Structure 1
């Protein structure tokens, strides 16, 4: 049996990584479409340009940066890093006035020989994937204004066309910024949910581990204590043998269930729970409720709860008498375990693992109520109440 801390490894933030890789795949695809248009129009642009060498050099720089973008995004799986980013921004700002200077006026607006507007739109959109959203939108507005200034100076361009082209840049940037932000937030929420689920699994496994070893550790402690009275040892050995068999079947939990030959009644549940506690000063009064039938889950939880109460009485109560009483009114059944031991201050002392988890939580999980009453010097009383024939419902 291994410690629960070894059962569940720390979760990786796989959703965030996948979202980032998805964005890093879309970015090269978007740039690839624009780059294809630029390359196809390069020959025509060189022929039309008054300075063909400068036009070809500017186009070549865009091609180099774009190829670098594609390669780094595909290799690194993210758009948040890469040497292409700031050269990309610089070229977008330079290309807009360069088209006015390098091309005839008739080709500055509305042609792919003047590829600067399409390139600027793409640059602003991709910048929105690696910049903070507010910064990306501000940059796109400035770049759109920069385009408006230069295209408005072209005589053949109407102000509507210039404004439309200018607004397209921040428009695409806003859409991409919102989409990238949404995808990353969605991935972060998915990863957080996965981490919460792992934490819950760890807590559940730890509780299961504690439930498994709690009673066994108490028995072993008493067996190893040289001051344990000899009269107690036979009962401890019986319980130790039962716990050893139960631990060997830890994963299947077979010994937690009543055997096929055991009727699931209050009486057989108490008989199983009381086994090995002959050293306690027990007083039994169970006849009135012994015949009540229980479901298997209620039988198992109740047996464990009663045994936990008796372990507590043995370890802590120093009682002169422990009374186990069972009764029924036809609608509900009741088991009360009371001792006249030292008790505890219920207002200022929290319940230990046995009473809190093995009794209250375990019983509540199958619809059975438990009430614990105690005060210093006046003993402890644990009352367990369930519905007759409806173990799954709380009374």
Structure 2
């Protein structure tokens, strides 16, 4: 009986602690979320995979070795993702290195994109969200919630290469501007650069098909939108890491990782040079699902039937996050915790307003 009371006491204490943070003043006033679709934790923490480099999935083996190979995992990961391992890991936190016993996972049972993004933004691994089809998401998402808060109305925006986010974020209900696929930015006062991107995206080769645009275009839109409109919450969803993996092109997969790490660095450097963002902005970087590892062919795939594709990672950098670096504790975090974490960083409590299950925040990313 005593143990039951103790468990209730601990639960009540944790809830009270979470609510106290929601009411506390945080330094974070702006939030940038970036996802790299299907990027494995193995490359994030180990760099280029020697088995895959030597396999038939890598064409120009000598070229890949020249660009990405080094003797140790620490060296290789710094070559592949220099911003993550030179800035974020020193000034923020990086989670999910299973070689050190730290685990990050999706809680949904499906391990593919729509369920993964639903989990990130609603805090709820809803089993109904079990398709990549254009099904409108009935769940409230944290971006929608933040957009209703004082000082944030009209200051939340999403850009994605994959076309599915208007449904994932329920743009028709939420009213969020969600520029996905080949959608133009049609704001009346758009600057000339944004107008040029509206034209350019339709004229560049559609390497990813006629629905999913190049990540470079999504990045350029995001950069120009931040410059002109100064949004307070920005979501940027890259897609090409997943596309190259599904194609089985390990060389291009590594190239996209390196390139997108550079895009994130450029965005961070830009906002840190702007008084509206400097010292007031938190950056969250993650993915929507993992991929297989064994047998070797499974690196191309993910899903409920692909072993270990629930294994993921994330990183946080900002004024409220202690600079503890690579997390080495034997703990497990879940993507259903991100939504409440985002809200608490801005001083809000999403759990009280969502109307559905929401995972507890990851309190280790917020200073105590």
TM range (shorter): under 0.3
TM-score computed with the length of structure 2 as normaliser: 0.27
Q: Which has the higher contact order (CA 8 A, sep 6+)?
A: 2
TM-score computed with the length of structure 1 as normaliser: 0.25
Q: Which has the larger radius of gyration?
A: 1
Please state which structure has a larger fraction of its residues in helix. Answer: 1
